Structure formats: structure tokens, C-alpha cells
Amino acid sequence: MRILITGANGFVGRHLERELVSRNHEVFLGVKQIDKNEEIRRVKQSVDLNILDKEQVKSVIAFVKPDVIFHLAAQSNVMQSWDDPTYTLTTNIIGTVNIVEVVGELSLSTKIITIGSSEEYGITAKYTNKLTESSPCLPQNPYAISKFAAGEIAQQIAKKYHLNHIHVRPFNHFGPGQQEGFVISDFASKIARIEAGLASNSIKVGYLEAERDFTDVRDIIDAYVLLIESVVPNGIYNIGSGVSRSISEVLDYLIELADVPIDIEIDYDKYRISEVKNIVGDSNKVQQAIDWKPEHDFKDSLKDTLNWWRASVTVEI
Ligand code: A2R
Ligand code: GDD
């Protein structure tokens, strides 16, 4: 299939590209700004694609005529969404409108996969054991609101133009390549720096009581790929492990993997304005639709993430 990935230079985009190419799909990488120093193969496959520039979106989609668009491009960080709600809402909502409208305006039969978030459920998570796709969405931060709005408007535009559209709601995912700003990478990068003698042996952490449903990014990618390679009804799909883990448990596992003693320091600046304590998903719908379940062992994935950071900080020295 001809597949366009928006936000292809991000954490998930790079894993998705690798998997799609290995399955012989023809992949086009939409990137906000092409970096000429990138590996040659990647540059060749890359197209400049700023999702806020509708004319550019139109010319890229008209040129590629994709069978599938994975719309990953976003401002993806919850904390940053409080620093700049306008940027987050504009990128995530208007960017999505541009992608879906252009496919409709060009009368293409492209299947569009928009990436939402478990954050869309917001406060409902407090009253629900495992969130299903029909749990009410009551998002409570700018990022979560943007993802909910993006999913809703995408569904309505898709209806207007009779497009194939799937909106996925992945729960927390992590793995090699994830930048700082997300909890596991924040902890793993600090441990790697401490081990390399680049930082004092204390890690600043935020709210440790929170519980999240973590999945290895490579398992999330498997689900994304199966969703386009199978015949699946349009609609919304949760994707997660269904397992609740506290952030303090995750931190303990990572500290066990460290080669040096690590101290923990609570940093109240890392606490969020609004926080849902426990967000865990029911992913039965997707499991039944594509016969999928996460395969990676959680502790092995933590080890892979820490090892990736160990290699990255070595380059910094
Ligand atoms: O802002 P940059 O240079 O880091 O680029 C990000 C890109 N992006 C855009 N691309 C095109 N036009 C824009 N106006 C635009 N604004 C941002 O989207 C970055 O390369 C990519 C997002 O990558 P990450 O932040 O690493 O997110 P990740 O973890 O790959 O998540 C993929 C999707 C997102 O929709 C998340 O909200 C969701 O999965 O969890
Ligand atoms: N980032 C971070 N850093 N979070 C911390 C820290 C820390 O040092 N200490 C505790 N936390 C807590 C946060 O308060 C939150 O409760 C939890 O760890 C997870 O935070 P993040 O990893 O930043 O993830 P998120 O849940 O806010 O959002 C991520 O997952 C969503 C669902 O898949 C992002 O990847 C979103 O883009 C994604 O949609």
C-alpha cells in the first residue's frame, strides 16, 4: 500500500516507518522540516508537510495519493499543552481538519487513521475501572481536549465525504527513541546520565501515585499496522495493555536496573494542574478486530529504553 505518515520524525513515526517498510509498503514520510543531514534513504522518502499549511497538505496528498494516512503529527506533550494551549489546540485540531478535509476535497478513497489519546477520557477514568470506547470523554487538559476535538471533527468530516476513518486512543506507550518529557524517558535518561557521570545521583520526579496503562511502542505499532492490513469497521479503538502500573512501581524497576545508587527527589513543579490518578483501558474491541495483544515483557521494554538512553548519552560525552 502507499502510506503517508504525518509527524514521521517523531518517536512513533520512526518505529512505524521501520515496520511498514519491513512489510513492503511504500512509505512517504511527512515531516515539518526535512533535515538534510538525515540518512539518505529517509530524505529520499521524505516530503515537507506542515499540517497547518493547507495548500501544502493538498499538494502532498494530491501527489502521493495514499491508500492510507497515519496522522501522527501533533503537539504530544501534556505539560507543554499548559504552557501553550493555543499552539496545542491549533496543531492538533486544525492540523487534523486539514488532513481529513483535503482527502475529502480530492475525492480520494484514502483510509485515515487519526491518533487520539487515552487522555480524552479524562475525569471519567476516576469512576471507571477499565475505560471502553463508549466511556464518556471528559478531557481536562489542553492536550486531552485537543485530541478529543480532533477525533470528533475528523469523524464528522469523514461522514460528510463518506471517508474511511479510524480514530485510535492509545494508552501510554514508551520505548527506545522516546525523547524526554514523558515519564519513562525522563527517568531512564536521568539514570543513564548519572551512570555516565554526567549528573549528580538524584532524580527529580513528579506525582508518583498516578497509575497508567503502559505498552511498548512496538506493540502499539503492531496494532496500527494490523488495523490497516485487516478489514476493520470504521470507528474508535482503544489500544493498551489493560494493566495498571503506578509510576512509583515503574521508577523502582528502573532503579533496580541502574548500575549506581539513585536518590529520588520530589519536584512539585512537575505536578500537573489537573491529574487523573488511574487511567487504564479495556482494549477488547481492538483485540477482537485484529487478533492483537501486546507481546513485549514490561521489564524487558524498560531495559531496552534504558539501554537506548545509555547509548544516546555516550554520544553526548
Ligand atoms: O514539532 P516537531 O518538529 O517536534 O515535529 C513534530 C510533528 N509536528 C508536526 N508535523 C507537521 N506539521 C506540524 N504543524 C507539526 N507539529 C508537530 O509531529 C513531531 O515530529 C511529531 C510528533 O512526534 P512526537 O512528539 O514524538 O509524538 P509521538 O510520541 O511520536 O506521538 C505520535 C502520536 C501523536 O499524535 C501523539 O499525540 C499520540 O501519538 O500519542
Ligand atoms: N513526564 C513526566 N515526568 N511525568 C511524570 C513524572 C516525570 O518526571 N513524574 C511523575 N509523572 C507522572 C505524570 O504526572 C503522569 O501522571 C504520568 O507520570 C505519565 O506522564 P507522561 O509520561 O508525561 O504521560 P501522559 O500520560 O501525560 O501522556 C502520554 O500518554 C498519552 C496516552 O498515550 C503522552 O505520550 C501523550 O501524548 C499520550 O496521548
Same domain as 204, residue 143: no
Give the contacts of 126 (CB within 8 A, at least 6 positions apart).
Answer: 276, 277, 278
Answer yes or no: is pLDDT of 77 > 80: yes
Confirm whether 232 is domain-assigned.
no
- pLDDT tens digits, residue range 120-168? 999 999 999 899 999 999 999 999 999 999 999 999 999 999 999 999 9
Same domain as 137, residue 195: no
- Looking at ligand 1, which atom is closest to the CA of residue 49? 11
Tell me which residue range forms the domain holding 188. 183-212+244-279+296-316
Average pLDDT of 38-63? 91
Q: What is the structure's pLDDT at 314?
A: 84
> Nearest residue CA, atom 23 of ligand 1?
10
> Nearest residue CA, atom 37 of ligand 1?
76
pTM for the whole thing?
A: 0.97
Same domain as 203, residue 130: no
Average pLDDT of 39-48? 81
Cα separation, 149 vs 114, whole angstroms? 12
What is the Cβ-side half-sphere exposure of residue 35, based on CA atoms within 13 angstroms?
A: 7
Give the contacts of 106 (CB within 8 A, at least 6 positions apart).
Answer: 58, 61, 62
Same domain as 190, residue 63: no
Same domain as 139, residue 12: yes
Number of domains in the chain: 2
Q: What is the structure's pLDDT at 276?
A: 86
Same domain as 188, residue 104: no
Same domain as 188, residue 164: no
Q: What is the structure's pLDDT at 41?
A: 72
- Looking at ligand 2, which atom is closest to the CA of residue 118? 32
> Nearest residue CA, atom 36 of ligand 2?
76
Same domain as 146, residue 6: yes
Same domain as 139, residue 20: yes
> Nearest residue CA, atom 16 of ligand 2?
210
CATH number where 42 lies: 3.40.50.720
Q: How far is the CA of 158 from the centre of ligand 1 (A)?
A: 22
Same domain as 193, residue 161: no
Answer yes or no: is pLDDT of 38 > 90: no
For ligand 2, is residue 210 a contact (CB within 6 Å)?
Answer: yes
- pLDDT tens digits, residue range 228-269? 999 999 999 999 999 999 999 999 999 999 999 999 999 999
Same domain as 250, residue 122: no
Q: Which of 12, 72, 168, 172 to mutate to test the pocket of ligand 2 (most atoms within 8 A of CB)?
A: 172
Same domain as 157, residue 190: no
